[in-house]
Structure 1
Amino acid sequence: MLHVQDLVLIAGAGLLGGAMNAIAGGGSFVTLPALVAAGVPSLNANATSTVALVPSALATAFAYRKDFQNFESVKFSTMAALSVVGGVLGALLLISTPQRVFDDIFPFLLLFGVLVFAFGRKLGDFLHTRISVHPAALPVAQFVLGIYGGYFGGAVGVMMLAVWSVLTRASINMMQASRNLLNAAMNATASLFFIFGGLIYWRQMAALLIGAAIGGYVAGHYGRRLEPAKARLAIIGLNSVIVALVFWRQYG
């Protein structure tokens, strides 16, 4: 049974998660545990959170629409197609995963996402001057990222930036625009399968969507006053605490 306090918790998580995504990303690390804490099974929480955050992802992608460019050796349309196909496979993989299995790996997926969010870009910059890249590496990597994004998606945007910083010479502005659209493509595609697969908790999704929309709008309007580096550190700290609590609840 869904209680009012659960809806308040979920809407509050959406508010915070939407604001985090607008400033630096990482909002799903708040929304997912909140849904689980409100009684939504972890697999359904993952699907419900994905669907709820699609509108804000599409809005962000639209805002960057004039900055899209082709990558050096791969057309942007090819990257988008690989992302969509990968997202479909990831969504189908999630739908076929038993709830018990996902419960076991859920904390580790969150931990992996937080580590990527914290260190992914630095690792990408470190490897950029030390690795020679085959032309086929970029489309293959994007296909794998699409599968991950469709299955779980935590920090997939940061993962794309880290991978692209190693495999391409694209500017940060171009990468930001591309990752927003490709992230939206993965999530929107996966969401269709989650909806038709019956994984969505609709009332919880509505509360999360409304909270995320408000949080994203407010943060988008006022977030420019924040220092990005400090905001990112605060988000990493918050997400680390949340993941620690998830592990404590699961294994403590």
Structure 2
Amino acid sequence: MDGAAGFALLGVAAFGAGVLNAIAGGGSFLTFPALVFTGVPAIAANATSALAVSPGYLGSTLGFRPELRALPDALLRRELLLSALGGLAGALLLLVTPARLFAGLVPWLLLFATALFALGPLLTRSAGQDGQAWQTWRQPGLLATAVYGGYFNGGLGILLMALYTLTGESRLNTVNALKNLNSLVLSLLSVAAFAWAGAIVWPQALLMMAAATAGGLAGARLARRLPVTWVRAIVIATGLVMSALFFQRAG
């Protein structure tokens, strides 16, 4: 795809990702495939996509400041450290993964993330039934989830929400606050590792960050009008189509 058409596609995909993330999540189902389809290698596309959607985490985190201030400082410090370590470890794992192996994993990762998104409400609803029994798994689970998020961002929010609900956090706003804060921290560390390794394609990244931010603002307004169930259906359909396309490419 030539330069102008490719950049136009990336701008539209990033704008759409910002809209989706503001309403229901799943923006990486648009940004990552768009980068690959415009000729960016899979590992660089994953790194650039992670940077493109990262500004939205900051705004979401700032929106939940009261909930975060109500949590013990020691707990926040411990969990932020785990998120940072996990995000960095996941990014480094991606950087040492052979490009051909990662390209083969991509359709499976997309399908896994789509399944997580589709089952998200069921996971978070059923997770809270016996939260105290799972409380000891909160921090090991957070570290494992952060590693996954640093390696491949798709479905990260669903995993974090399910983890916190499963381990006994019953306040939905607090769950969302922790999800956004930990996503922000692990994304910052993983993106820093990608940038240090030269894995980010900067012209595309800067365009997509701007477009995703604009999409987030538009999505915040649209969220008041569109039923979330419609948007979730669109995200799931997008994830399935993208998974099928990548399976076809891998074949």
TM-score by length of 2: 0.93
Q: Name the SS of the counterpart of 1:200 in structure 2.
A: coil
1:130 CA drift (Å): 5.7
Question: 1:102 and 2:84 equivalent?
Answer: no
2:143 is matched with 143
% same residue: 33
Q: Name the SS of the counterpart of 2:54 in structure 1.
A: helix
User: In the alignment, residue 110 of structure 1 is paired with which amino acid?
Assistant: L
2:185 is matched with 185
User: In the alignment, residue 153 of structure 1 is paired with which amino acid?
Assistant: N
What is the rounded CA distance, in whole Å, between the counterparts of 2:126 and 2:135 in structure 1? 20
Deviates further, 217-226 or 123-132: 123-132
What is the rounded CA distance, in whole Å, between the counterparts of 1:168 and 1:105 in structure 2? 33
What is the rounded CA distance, in whole Å, between the counterparts of 1:131 and 1:219 in structure 2? 33
What is the rounded CA distance, in whole Å, between the counterparts of 2:212 and 2:53 in structure 1? 7
Q: Say if 1:222 and 1:126 are closer, same or farther in 2 by CA, change over 3 A.
A: closer
What is the rounded CA distance, in whole Å, between the counterparts of 1:70 and 1:64 in structure 2? 12
1:223 is matched with 223
What is the rounded CA distance, in whole Å, between the counterparts of 2:64 and 2:165 in structure 1? 19
Q: Is the 8 A contact 1:121 1:161 kept in 2?
A: no
In structure 2, runs of 5+ residues without a counterpart are none
What is the rounded CA distance, in whole Å, between the counterparts of 1:2 and 1:90 in structure 2? 32
How many aligned positions are there? 249
Deviates further, 202-211 or 5-14: 202-211
User: In the alignment, residue 70 of structure 1 is paired with which amino acid?
Assistant: L
1:2 CA drift (Å): 5.6
Q: Is the 8 A contact 2:67 2:174 kept in 1?
A: yes
What is the rounded CA distance, in whole Å, between the counterparts of 2:121 and 2:58 in structure 1? 23
After superposition, residues 161-180 of structure 1 pair within 5 angstroms as 161-180=161-180
After superposition, give the CA deviation of every residue in 1:154-200 in whole Å (9 maximum; x if it has no partner): 11111111122211132111111110111111111111010011001
Q: Which runs of 4+ in 1 moved over 3 A?
A: none
2:240 is matched with 240
Deviates further, 22-31 or 239-248: 239-248
Note the aligned Cα RMSD (angstroms). 1.8
